[in-house]
Amino acid sequence: MKICGNIYAVGAVDERIRMFHGYRTPIGTTYNAYLAVGSRVTLIDFVKRPFADVLLSNIKAVLGERKIEYIICNHAEPDHSGALPEVLKAYPDAALYGTAACEKTLKAYCPETEINFNAVKTGDVLDAGEFTFTFIPMPMVHWPDSMATYMADEKMLFPNDALGQHIGTGEVFDSDLSLEKLFERAGDYYANIVLPFSAPVKALLKNLNGFEIKTVCPSHGVILKDALPRMLEKYAAWSDNVTDGESFTVIYDTMWGTTKKMAERIFGDYTAKGFKGDIINLSEKHHSYAMARLLESKYIFIGSPTLNNGMMPSVSAFLTYMKGLKPKNRIGRAFGSYGWSGEAAPQIHDILSSCGFEMMEPEKVLWNF
């Protein structure tokens, strides 16, 4: 599909994927790749290996028998680089461009593939016929090898995973879907993938100030044009852990219903005070859904009954997951029911405290209330 000038989207839609390295993707995703066609042909990013045929067929529909001269690999994670062996089989003379960390990773992933790799640094430029590409390494957004590429000719940025969204329902541009859906999916993506890398995100945003950008072509989800200013504002806020002081999230599991009653009471009390909140039972919703809900929440309440001198496994798993994603600037409270020993609430309290949250006293209820 032509997206503007001589730039084409040639990636693949994965509408069926529902689990992405432990992160639930309820409406699938895309693996976006782009082709810049001038007197020289450049492929920017590629796709997950099972979609290599789709990518090659899309490329062929644009190029016919023409060859690809350059391939820019912004990131070596297999959802983008998996198709490399097939792409190089079809275009063996193509030269690759990416960071030194990308070269190391690609060669480790594809030991049987001969790769003509050119390692680039910040500000290096690839002169590809009518198009000029400037490389902007962005280590740890979200892997060491990650890079964005800027094409001055169309004022386009190709930031790979950054500014992406897991949307696999066929839309191509931000104007093809509602803003509500776009930012819900972008927030879900940020909370579950990008959140621990907020310092590198801030460095990237600062770097991007030096470029005039009209269009952002991420490697997942829709191309950003109209919604781009708002998306950049959101990234600035999310990377600063800006929270809504009147927003809360209650996350819990329950055994015989008392911890559920406690969760519902907390939800009711805060709603009555005019706060906006979510209540999530971890036996009904995946932990990555809960993580996305707390992205902008100031208050985080986590509850579990005591089970075997500890908390329920679903709550323990959620806390491990959340702690790794490093949310900051929160106020936490642990709660839970118990029958005789009552360790769950204090254990949750200690973990939330170790996340750096300002803590309220834990609340424990004996049997029922």
10 or 279: CB nearest ligand FEO:
10
Residue 79 lies near ligand FEO (rule: CB under 6 A): yes
Segment near ligand FEO (CB under 6 A), from 52-60, 77-85, 230-238, 324-332? Answer: 77-85
161 is catalytic: yes
Residue 161 lies near ligand FEO (rule: CB under 6 A): yes
Minimum distance from residue 219 beta carbon to ligand FEO (Å): 6
Matching residue, tokens 């490697």: 219
Minimum distance from residue 347 beta carbon to ligand FEO (Å): 33
Residue 45 lies near ligand FEO (rule: CB under 6 A): no
Residue type, 301: F
Q: Which of 24, 43, 131, 142 binds ligand FEO (CB under 6 A)?
A: 142
CA 203, 46, 11 angle in degrees (round to 5)? 105
Minimum distance from residue 168 beta carbon to ligand FEO (Å): 13
Residue 185 lies near ligand FEO (rule: CB under 6 A): no
Matching residue, tokens 């992160």: 23
Segment near ligand FEO (CB under 6 A), from 76-84, 103-111, 179-187, 241-249? Answer: 76-84
Q: Which of 24, 75, 293, 330 binds ligand FEO (CB under 6 A)?
A: 75
**Contact set with ligand FEO (CB under 6 A):** 75, 77, 79-80, 142-143, 161, 219-220
Task: Give catalytic residues, as residue numbers.
Answer: 21, 75, 77, 79, 142, 161, 189, 220
